[in-house]
Structure 1
Amino acid sequence: MKIKPYAGWMACFACVLSLLMLRFVPPVLSGWTEVIVAPGQTLWSLAEKCPANPWDVVNAIAAHNHISADETLQPGEVLEVPTKASPFWTRLVFSFEGGNHA
């Protein structure tokens, strides 16, 4: 069986492209805790306290609390915010079937 000369390069390109795409998968946020909004606080300032990309955290806080991401927060408002972030690759599960493949 003859393999076309560019097939190996295409396989390498596909692997690199797949790894680059994984970078854009948002992290899993956990450790949600209640916070009382102080005067002047925004979703962005709350998101910066979580060890993840603030854009992802702002969207997650908004979705979790059923509010708009551009909503102005009121002092005294209670929101749940994440305290931990797990990157995508920590969720990957690999499965190998055992057996004799002779």
Structure 2
Amino acid sequence: MLKLKQYAGWLAIATCLISLLMLRFAPPVLTGWIEVVVAPGQTLWSLAEQCPANPWDVVNAIAVHNHISLDQTLQPGEVLEVPTKMSPFWTRLVF
């Protein structure tokens, strides 16, 4: 029992660090969705590059949010909702 108490502080610190790392590598929370009219030649990737987050995460978020598949060709004039902001990972911390 004495040895367990001796390492309890280190265990708590390690748990906090692991939790922060898990949050850091989780997909970002995207906000500020606006409607965008697709121009000729635009792709999910070109739309995703306008958001300040990893484009892979944004492409997936746009597809899920608009109920389309990742391999679907976008049609000019199609209206999609696209995120404009990314919430930092520490906003997901709950105390």
User: Normalising by the residue count of structure 2, what TM-score does the alignment of the two structures yield?
Assistant: 0.81
The answer for unaligned runs of 5 or more in structure 2 is none
Q: Post-superposition, which runs of at least 4 consecutive aligned residues in structure 1 deviate over 6 A?
A: none
Amino acid paired to 2:35: E
Q: Indicate the structure (1 or 2) with the bigger Cα radius of gyration.
A: 1
Q: Does structure 2 retain, via aligned residues, the 8 Å contact 1:26–1:87?
A: no
Offset at residue 18 of structure 1 (A)? 2.4
Structure 1 stretch displaced more, 23-32 or 78-87: 23-32
Offset at residue 48 of structure 1 (A)? 0.9
SS at match of 2:39: coil
The equivalent residue for 1:92 is 93
SS at match of 1:63: helix
- Counterpart CA distance in 1 for 2:29 and 2:22 is 16
- Counterpart CA distance in 2 for 1:89 and 1:69 is 29
Offset at residue 17 of structure 1 (A)? 2.6
Aligned residues: 94
Task: Check 1:3–1:60 CA distance in 2 against 1; reply closer, same or farther (3 A cut).
Answer: same
- Does residue 2 (structure 1) correspond to residue 2 (structure 2)? The answer is yes
User: Normalising by the residue count of structure 1, what TM-score does the alignment of the two structures yield?
Assistant: 0.76
Identity %: 75
